[in-house]
Structure 1
Amino acid sequence: MDNFIRVRCFSPFHHRYIFVDTKDYVSIRLFAAADIGVSHIKEMLKRGSPYRLIVCHVRKKDLDKFYDALGKLRNNVMILGYKDYDKVCEKLKEGELILSGRKEREKKKMEKNTRFYLLYDHLLGKEEGGQFFLYKDKAWIPDHEHMIMDHLTGYDPSEPPDSPYGIYCTDIMEEIKEISPEKAMEMMG
């Protein structure tokens, strides 16, 4: 039974983990005995429970020793009388699966909410998650000039700033049309 999960971390020097420990902090003695560089970042506990979820950084060079120490942690905790330790570890794994499923659902939802546009009959654009992108040189780049938004709202940048004709200009709005994802994929080649 695994008593840990790995969490995303962008450091070149260490990995981040969450593992299950007890109120006796058995892991600290095991890490010290194995000479492992583990930095505790955060501790989470449920009121009335003897278990703790420890968020930590582990140096990459100490990973093998860390895994060995966590294997010993389970045995030591069971010897100390924490009989439901495996159940708590199972809940940690279930939580990891739920989170990974949520990420997949959010990704699918975002893909479903993506809209594609065609500007001037040749320029491809898309709206994804409230941000706009243009397809140039076979890559999606952020629309920093606000071309898509300007066309959707009918804003004409050629008009003076105080001109009432600069907003809701139908000539500009006619230059953009929404297209299907299939048509966009076909245009991208």
Structure 2
Amino acid sequence: MDYKNYIEIRKISLLYYQYYFVDTGEYLADGIFYQNRITVRYGAEFVREGTRYRFIFCKIRKKDRSIFFKSMEELKKKMLLTGHGDYEYFCERIITTMKRWKDSGNFPNKVV
């Protein structure tokens, strides 16, 4: 599973890294974050009517970065196990779109 289900937002902060990640309305990532003992501060959610997935903004402590990456890999596996076979396609499509926005200069922050 070499695709990404998150985008890092580059913004100067002493304590946090900021990301958008793809999840479902059942918030499958929450259980993974809890299990991995990572503190996540949530922000805005973006969802298009008629889709199963949502784009969620979050902040994590800098010391938890490697645990966050591990959690995102676990989320990919959990999506497959719970019947979300189109998750990889959706992530690839949305991440490509976000990178295009970044390149055009229309995205509000710096996206990696």
Q: Give the shorter-chain TM-score range.
A: 0.7 to 0.9
Which runs of no fewer than 5 residues in structure 2 stay unpaired?
Answer: 106-112
1:82-117 residue CA offsets vs partner (Å, 9 max, x unmatched)? 1110111112221232123213xxxxxxxxxxxxxx
Shift of 1:81: 0.5
Query: For residue 93 of structure 1, what is the aligned residue in structure 2?
Result: 95
Moved over 2 A (4+): none
Q: 1:20 aligns with which of 22, 30, 38?
A: 22
Identity of aligned residues (%): 29
Q: Tell me the number of residue pairs that the alignment of Structure 1 and Structure 2 aligns.
A: 103
Amino acid in the other structure paired with 1:24: E
Q: Over aligned residues, Cα RMSD in angstroms?
A: 1.0
Query: For residue 80 of structure 2, what is the aligned residue in structure 1?
Result: 78
**2:40 & 2:78 partners in 1: Cα distance?**
19
Q: 1:44 aligns with which of 34, 42, 46?
A: 46
Query: For residue 57 of structure 1, what is the aligned residue in structure 2?
Result: 59
Query: For residue 36 of structure 2, what is the aligned residue in structure 1?
Result: 34
Shift of 1:33: 0.5
Shift of 1:8: 2.1
Larger Rg: 1
1:104-156 residue CA offsets vs partner (Å, 9 max, x unmatched)? xxxxxxxxxxxxxxxxxxxxxxxxxxxxxxxxxxxxxxxxxxxxxxxxxxxxx
| Bigger relative CO (Cα 8 Å, ≥ 6 apart) | 2
**1:8 & 1:47 partners in 2: Cα distance?**
28
Amino acid in the other structure paired with 2:53: Y
Which runs of no fewer than 5 residues in structure 1 stay unpaired?
Answer: 104-189
